């Protein structure tokens, strides 16, 4: 979870070794939530993406690097103008190795003062992941001209093109 799932999905779809990126909801109490449920802010769920990747091509650590470079992990329950617990920064880890790697990565960033403010990214065990409605899947690639996409997502794509060019599918 790194804010709006349209943003995170668009970023991670660009990476070589990432097989699938699926938008959905996780970490809350409501069973089978909808987008309108999430937007009320009382479900406890975060907008998030589920990433399937080939670890022989891209490591979990490299995914963490891109994750922390493409959202602000220091703002509690907000990313830019998107505000609410459903926009929180969170890593839903699948096993203890991922949990420890994410914790160590956060500790390294914190000790190096990469961010001016403390990192508030939550580490939570992987729970039931509910798929978002079909209209949210591959949203950026289908709506690039929409204002939100232009002002919020396109700069993230440009950032990974600049700083992570060697990891992009288009460069292979």
Active site residues: 4
Please name the residues in contact with 82: beta carbons below 8 A apart, sequence gap of 6 or more.
Answer: 3, 4
Residue 89 main-chain phi, psi, to 5 deg: -85, 120
Residue closest to 140 by CA, chosen among 155, 123, 126: 155
C-alpha of 152 from chain center:
14
CA–CA separation, 75 and 87 (whole Å): 10
The answer to whether 28 and 11 have CB atoms below 8 angstroms apart is no
- Find the radius of gyration of the CA atoms of the chain: 15
CA–CA separation, 98 and 102 (whole Å): 6
């Amino acid at each position: 979870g790194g804010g709006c799932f349209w943003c995170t999905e668009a970023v991670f779809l660009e990476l070589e070794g990432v097989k699938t990126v699926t938008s959905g909801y996780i970490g809350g109490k409501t069973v089978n939530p909808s987008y309108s449920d999430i937007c009320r802010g009382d479900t406890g769920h975060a907008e998030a993406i589920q990433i399937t990747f080939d670890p022989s091509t891209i490591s979990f650590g490299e995914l963490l690097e891109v994750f922390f470079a493409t959202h602000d992990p220091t703002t509690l329950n907000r990313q830019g103008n998107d505000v609410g617990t459903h926009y929180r920064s969170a890593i839903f880890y699948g096993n203890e190795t991922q949990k420890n790697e994410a914790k160590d990565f956060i500790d390294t960033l914190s000790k190096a003062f990469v961010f001016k403010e403390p990192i508030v990214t939550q580490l939570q065990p992987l729970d039931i992941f509910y798929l978002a409605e079909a209209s949210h899947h591959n949203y950026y690639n289908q709506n690039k001209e929409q204002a939100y996409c232009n002002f919020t997502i396109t700069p993230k794509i440009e950032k990974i093109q600049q700083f992570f060019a060697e990891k992009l599918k288009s460069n292979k």
